[in-house]
Chain A
Amino acid sequence: MRTLILQTASKYLLPLLLLFSIFILLRGHYLPGGGFVGGLIASIAFILHAFANGLPQTRNLMRIHPGFLMPVGLGLSFLSGLFPMFLNRPFMTGIWFAEKVAVIGSIGTALFFDIGVYLVVIGASLTIIFTISESN
C-alpha cells in the first residue's frame, strides 16, 4: 500500500499517535487508559508507518529491534516492584513522591510499573507482527 497520501499522513501521524499513546499511558491512573492500551496504540502507530513506508523504513526509524523493549520493560516493572523491599516494605508496595508534578499527577512506583507494561506490550506486539510479515 504505497500511496502518497498515506505516506505523507503517516509522517505526521506517527509522532502524534505516539504522543497520544503516552498521554493514554500517563492518565491511566485517574481516567480510562493505562500501559496496556497505551502500548497497543503505540504499536499500531508503528504498524501504520510500516504499512505506508515499508517495513525496512520503520526498522530504520526505530534503530533497535522492538524485541529489546521486552527485557527493558520487564526489568523496569520488576525493579519498581522490588524497590519497596529496599525500604523494608513488602514486594510491590506502592511508594509515592510526596509532591505532585504538573500534568502527570502523583509519581510513584505504580507509574514506572505501568511504563514497564507499556514497553513490553510494544515490544511483544511489534516483534510478533514484524516477524510474521517478514516471513515467507
Chain B
Amino acid sequence: MLIALLFPFLAAALLALPVREKRDLIVRLSALVPLGLLSFFIYNSQQTPTMQRNAWLRDMPVSLDLYFDGLSFLFILLITGIGTAIFVYAGAYMKGHAYSQRLMAFLMLFMGAMLGVVLSDNLIALFVFWELTSISSFFLIGFNNENEASRKSALTALAVTGSGGLVMLIGFIGLGEVAGTYSIQEIIAQRDAVVNHTAYGWITGLILFGAITKSAQFPFHFWLPGAMKAPTPVSAYLHSATMVKAGIYLIARLTPALGDTPFWNQTLLVLGGVTMLYAAFQSLFHKDMKSILAYSTVSALGILVFLLGIGTSASILAASVFILVHGLYKATLFLVTGIVDHETGSRDVSQLSGLRKVMLPVAIAGLLAAISNAGIPPSFGFIGKDLIYEATELKGHLLTALAVLTNIFLLVAGFLAGWKPFAGPLQPEHQKVHLPEMAMWLPPLLLASLGILFGLFPQLIEKTIVAPVFQSISGTAFTGHLALWHGFNFVLLLSSITIVGGLVLYFIIKPSTALNSFIVKSEKFGPKVILTGIANGFDLFARLYTKFFQNGYLRYYIIFIMLTLIGLLGFEMWHYTTLETNNRLATEVTFYEGVTIFILLVSVVIIVFSQSRLASVAALGVMGLAICIVFVFYSAPDLAMTQFTIDTLTVILFVLVLYKLPKFIPLRFTPHHIRDAVIALGFGALISILTLEVLTKNVNREISEFYAANSYVLAKGKNVVNVILVDFRGADTIVEIAVLSIAAIGVFSLLKLRLPKKERIE
C-alpha cells in the first residue's frame, strides 16, 4: 500500500521532466496512473479495514502508518475514479498547451497528497499530506501565472487553507498529547479520556478550524469561487470532488474520536447550516457557469458538514451517500462547463443556448447530472436527498425547512449550469461549434450515467461502499437498505416540493448582468473583504516595520544594535551588578603595556576628532594593531594573528570605499554628533563595567578544560583553538564559511549587477 501511495509522487517527478517530442502522448498516458491505483484499491478493498505499519521518524511519534477502511475507500474511489476521468479529460483539454506536462505533474502530486490524507493513520503524517494538497492546489489555481487575478486567487486560497492547516496542527498536537498517541485509531479507542479532558473544547475548535477552511465553510468560503481561475479539469477535480472534501473527510474520520458532544454537534450544525443556505442563495445570482458551480459546491459542502453535525445514524448514512452523489454530478457539471468553455470560448449562461444541437453527448451528460443534482427519480441524487430529509425530519421542522430551501436553490443552480446552455435556440455565432474528441465528452457522460445507474441499482454500492463508510464513521454496522421507493410518506412530499419549487424557480430566474452585479455589490460587506482587510493591514504593518528598522543606513543599524544591547545589558546589570572590582588579579603595569595603552588612546582621539577620513581610517588601523599587541601580552597568539590580518584587510577595504567619498568630513557640529557620542560612551561604559564584573565572578571552566584536556586525545591537535574550529565545532565552521561565501556573492552581485533601467525598482 505504501508503494501505491508513493507511486503518484514518482510519476509526478517523471512527468515534470522536460521532453521535446510526444508531449501529448505522455500527458495522455498519465491517466493510466489513477486507473492503476483505482484497480489496485478496488482489488484490495475486500480486506478492509487493514492497518499497514511503516516507520518514518523513529525518535518521534511520526509514522507512515496507513489505515485502509470504508471511509478511506470511499475517498480513494473519488480520488482515483474521478481522477481517471479527469486525467483522460485533461489530456485532451490541454492538448498542444506548452505547459500541459506541468499541469499533469501538479495534478499527479495532488493525487498522491490526497491519497496520503485519506490513508494516513498518524496525525502528523496526515498534516503533511494535507499541506501538500494546499500547496499543489496553489500551483494549480495559479497555473495561468501570467494572469494577475489567477495569481491573486492562488495566494488567497493558499493563505486561507494554509493558515487553517497551521491552526489545525496545533489542535493535532494538543490531541496527540492529551491522548498520548498520534495514531487516529488508538485515539478513537480512548475516546472517553479525550472528550472529558479540560482541553477538549480547544482541541476540537482548532481542528475544526482547519477542516472548515479547507472545506470552504462560511466565513472562509470565499477562496473557493476564486479558485475557479484554475483550468476547468483542476476545478472539477480539486475544488469540487476531492480536495475541498478533505475537511469533510477529517470531520468524518474524527467523529468517533471527538464527535457526539454538544459542542461538536452544534458547531457543525450552525456552520454547515449557514454555509449551505448562504452559498446556495448566492449561486442563483451568477451567470458564469463556473461561479454557479463554485457556490453550489460550497453549499453542498455545507450540507455535508450540517449532516455530520446532526450526528444521528440517519444523518451519517445520508452524508456517506451524499459524498458520492455530489462527487459524481458535480465533477460532471464542471467537465461539461469545461467543454462548453473550450469550444465556444464563453461560460456566460445568459448568452449560451441551444448547444445540444451541436454537442448532443455533452448535453446528455449535463442533463443527467442536473437531474441527479435535483434529486429527480430514478437518479442516485434522489436517494441522497431522501436520506437527507429523513435525517432532518427527526430533528425538527426548522432544520428540514433549511434543507428543503437549500435544495431548491441547488436544483436551480444545477439546471442553470447543466441544462440552460443546451436548451432553447442555437445562437448564430455558435453554428460552427463542434463536438470535441471523445476523450473529452466520454468522461462526463460516464460519470453522469453512474449517477443514474446507482439510483436504479443501489444494491451495487450498498454493501461495498455505503455500509463500510457508515461503519467507519458511526462505529456501528449498517442494517438498513438503500432504495428508491419508500412508499408515500412525508419525505416523498418534501422531495416533490423541492422538485416542483426548484423547477418553477428555474423558469422564473433569468441570469443577467443586473442580477450578477447586485450580488457582486453585496460582496463588499462579505467576510472576504474583512479578511483581506486584515491581510492588507498586516502587510502594511510589515512594510512600515521593515522600513523603520531596515532603512538601509548603516549608522541606524549600528545605533539600533547598540541601543538594544545597552537596554538588555543595562537592565540585567542594574539588578545584579555590585560595582566591586577584583584587585587580586591585577598586576603592575609594565612600561610596554603603558606605551601600548597610550597609543590606543591617542588613536581613539584622532579617529574621533580628525577632519580627514583617511587619517581616521589610518588611526583605526593603528588602534587595531595596538589591540593585537595587547592580545600578544596576554598570550592569545591565534587571536593576535587573526586580528592583525583582519585589521589589514579592513583598512584596505575602508580606503577603497573612502576613495569614492568626499575627502574631508563636514566640519559642522550637529546634534547628531551628541547623540552618537552619548550612545558610544554609554556602550563603552557598559562593556567596561561588564568586563570588570566578569573578573569578580567565578567562571565555569568546565568547557574550556574539556577542550584543553581532549584536543590531543580525541582530535590529535595541540592547538586548541584550531581543533575547536576544525573538529569539535566543525559543523559551525562549515556554516560560517558558507555565510562568508554568501556575503561575498552578495557584494559581488550588488556591485556588478546593473539592471537595464526599465527593470529597476525605484
Contact = CB atoms under 8 A, between A and B. Distances in A.
A77 interface: yes
Interface string A110-127: 100110110011011101
A113 B729 CA distance: 12
Nearest to A119: B737
Interface stretch (B44-52, B163-171, B590-598, B636-644): B636-644
B726 A35 contact: yes
Contacts of B723: 29, 110
Nearest to B737: A120
B744 A37 contact: no
A18 B745 CA distance: 24
Given A110-B726, A129-B656, A121 B737 contact: yes
Given A34-B726, A36-B725, A47-B652, A94 B715 contact: yes
B721 A77 contact: no
Interface string A98-136: 000000001010100110110011011101110111111
B59 to A, nearest CB: 15
B722 interface: yes
Interface in A31-81: 31-37, 40-41, 43-44, 47, 67, 70-71, 73-74, 77-78, 81
B748 A127 contact: yes
A30 B716 CA distance: 9
Given A34-B638, A44-B649, A132-B653, A124 B716 contact: no
Contacts of A127: 744-745, 747-748
A70 to B, nearest CB: 4
Contacts of A110: 715-717, 723, 726-727, 730
A113 B726 contact: yes
A18 B743 CA distance: 24
A23 to B, nearest CB: 12
A81 B730 contact: yes
B743 A28 contact: no
Nearest to B749: A131
Contacts of A125: 649, 744
26 contacts: A28-B719, A29-B722, A30-B718, A32-B638, A32-B719, A33-B719, A34-B722, A34-B726, A37-B642, A40-B645, A40-B649, A44-B649, A67-B748, A70-B741, A108-B716, A110-B716, A110-B723, A113-B730, A117-B726, A120-B737, A123-B744, A124-B740, A124-B743, A127-B744, A131-B748, A132-B751
B544 interface: no
Given A127-B744, A131-B747, A44 B645 contact: yes
Say whether chain B's binding surface is mostly helix, strand, loop, or mixed. Answer: helix
Given A44-B648, A116-B737, A34 B716 contact: no
Interface residues of A, number: 49
Q: Which of B638, B717, B741, B744: most chain A CB closer than 10 A? A: B744
Contacts of A40: 642, 645-646, 649
Contacts of A123: 741, 744
B760 interface: no
Contact of B751 (A33, A70, A73, A131): A131
Given A35-B726, A127-B745, A133-B656, 8 more contacts: A37-B638, A37-B645, A96-B716, A108-B716, A110-B716, A117-B737, A123-B744, A131-B748
A132 B737 contact: no
A67 B747 contact: no
Contacts of B646: 40
A114 B726 contact: yes
B719 A29 contact: yes
Contacts of A92: 727, 730-731
Contacts of B60: none
Interface of B: 637-638, 641-642, 645-646, 648-649, 652-653, 656-657, 660, 714-719, 721-723, 725-727, 730-731, 733-734, 737-738, 740-741, 743-745, 747-748, 751-752
Contacts of B733: 77, 113, 117
A71 B745 CA distance: 11
The 9 closest A-B pairs by CB, nearest first: A40-B645, A124-B744, A32-B637, A120-B737, A70-B741, A34-B722, A29-B717, A127-B744, A30-B718
Contact of A94 (B652, B656, B716, B751): B716
Nearest to B748: A131
Given A43-B649, A121-B740, A33 B747 contact: no
A28 B557 CA distance: 36
Q: Which of B641, B645, B745: most chain A CB closer than 10 A? A: B645
A83 to B, nearest CB: 12
A34 B725 contact: yes
B91 to A, nearest CB: 42
A94 B716 CA distance: 9
Contacts of B718: 29-31
Nearest to B716: A106
Q: Which of B642, B657, B717, B722: most chain A CB closer than 10 A? A: B722
A39 to B, nearest CB: 9
A129 B638 contact: no
B657 A132 contact: yes
Contacts of A121: 737, 740
Contacts of B743: 124, 128
A81 B645 contact: no
Contacts of B730: 81, 92, 110, 113
Contacts of B652: 47, 129
A33 B722 contact: yes
Contacts of B727: 92, 94, 110, 113
A56 to B, nearest CB: 16
Contact of B731 (A71, A81, A94, A106): A81
B711 to A, nearest CB: 9
Nearest to B659: A133
A52 B401 CA distance: 93
A129 B650 CA distance: 10
